[in-house]
Amino acid sequence: MIDRDVYGPWAVIAGGSEGVGASFAEQLADAGINLVLIARKPGPLAETAERVRAKGVEVRTLELDLIDPGALKAVRSATDDLEVGLMIFNAGANTYGHEFVTGDLDRVQGVIDLNITAQLALTHHFGALMKERRRGGIMLVGSLSGYLGQPQITVYSAAKAFIRVFTEGLWLELGEHGVHVLELVLGVTRTPAMERAGLRMDLPGLNVAEPDDVAREGLAHLADGPVWIAGGNQRTAEKRSGFPRAELVRGSHEAMKRMLPPAAK
């Protein structure tokens, strides 16, 4: 059970309306931690909030696109009167189906703004407060995609690589102040976003994780930073970190093509 004295009484979950984010919300509510849920889609956000309120915790919701210029101000307006002991950044944007040089540069910028800029802004804000209180936790949800470059998700992979290295440095900076920092690295996970992308998750031998399982694993290992590889993907991450790079990148690309919908190949 996650310790409310360390990570409570409130947690903020960016991307907390569905998939892994909703699983985090339900499991934190079971531990008696109140929640601020941030998401763009009002329907799933309201549904998740209703489910977790039924567990007896307080819930605030913030319907917000985190790449909006006033996003941090909106988050602060919703949380400045709260003692936030845990911040989970689970929001993300991808570029499936588009090569970089022929893609929409504005869409690429959106991927960078959400996966890097917005994530840094929330981490900077809540991390400073946690450092001052000398307790708390920050979890940034990463991806195995950040361990090597892949076509059509070139910028997304690079953004995830950035966050992993950033997390390692932040873990060192905040660790001496009693604040736990973790990048939770996900592999293929059965989320609504994955399903909307049309990725095939029924391939023989494919390791597909469930949202509840990876959320539970992440919360259990908050103090085991800087990086935790979820869903039994440790060996895959180690392999993708090796050399020669050309062979690894080509091999991963061939495996990825089998998952992509026909239009994206």
pLDDT in tens, 70-85: 999 999 999 999 999 9
Task: State the average pLDDT over residues 228-255.
Answer: 92
Amino acid making up residue 207: N
pLDDT at residue 232 above 90? Answer: yes
The two most distant CA atoms of the chain are separated, in Å, by 53
Of 2-16, 30-44, 151-165, 180-194, where does mean pLDDT reach its minimum?
180-194
Cβ-based neighbours of 188, under 8 Å, separated by 6 or more:
194, 199, 201, 206, 207, 208, 209, 259
15 contacts 91 by C-beta, under 8 angstroms: yes
Please list, residue by residue across 218-256, b when 16 or more beta carbons sit within 10 angstroms of its beta carbon and e when fewer do.
bbebbeebbbbbbbebeebbeebeeeeeeebeeebeeeb
Percent of the chain with pLDDT over 70: 90
Q: Is the dihedral of CA 240, 205, 155, 146 positive or negative?
A: negative
Phi and psi dihedrals of 84, rounded to 5?
-90, 115
Phi and psi dihedrals of 63, rounded to 5?
-80, 110
Write down the pLDDT at residue 198: 61
Q: Which residue has the higher pLDDT, 182 or 103?
A: 182
Given 3.10.580.10, 3.40.605.10, 3.10.150.10, 3.40.50.720, which CATH number is that of 4-264? Answer: 3.40.50.720
Percent of the chain with pLDDT over 90: 80
Query: Residues 212-223: pLDDT tens digits?
Result: 999 999 999 999
244 contacts 199 by C-beta, under 8 angstroms: no
Q: DSSP of the chain, one letter per residue?
A: ---HHHH-SEEEEET-SSHHHHHHHHHHHHTT-EEEEEES-HHHHHHHHHHHHTTT--EEEEE--TTSTTHHHHHHHHHTTS-EEEEEE------TT--TTTS-HHHHHHHHIIIIIIHHHHHHHHHHHHHHHT-EEEEEEEEGGGGS--TTSHHHHHHHHHHHHHHHHHHHHHHTTTEEEEEEEE-SB--HHHHHTT-----TT---B-HHHHHHHHHHTTTS-SEEE-TT-HHHHHHHTSS-HHHHHHHHHHHHHTTS-GGG-
**Token pair listed for 77:** 């307006």
Average pLDDT, the chain: 92
Query: Residues 139-180: pLDDT tens digits?
Result: 999 999 999 998 888 999 999 999 999 999 999 999 999 999
Q: Which residue ranges make up each domain of the chain?
A: 4-264
What is the reported pTM? Answer: 0.92
pLDDT at residue 264 above 60? Answer: no
Catalytic residues: 156, 160
pLDDT at residue 113 above 70? Answer: yes
pLDDT at residue 200 above 80? Answer: no
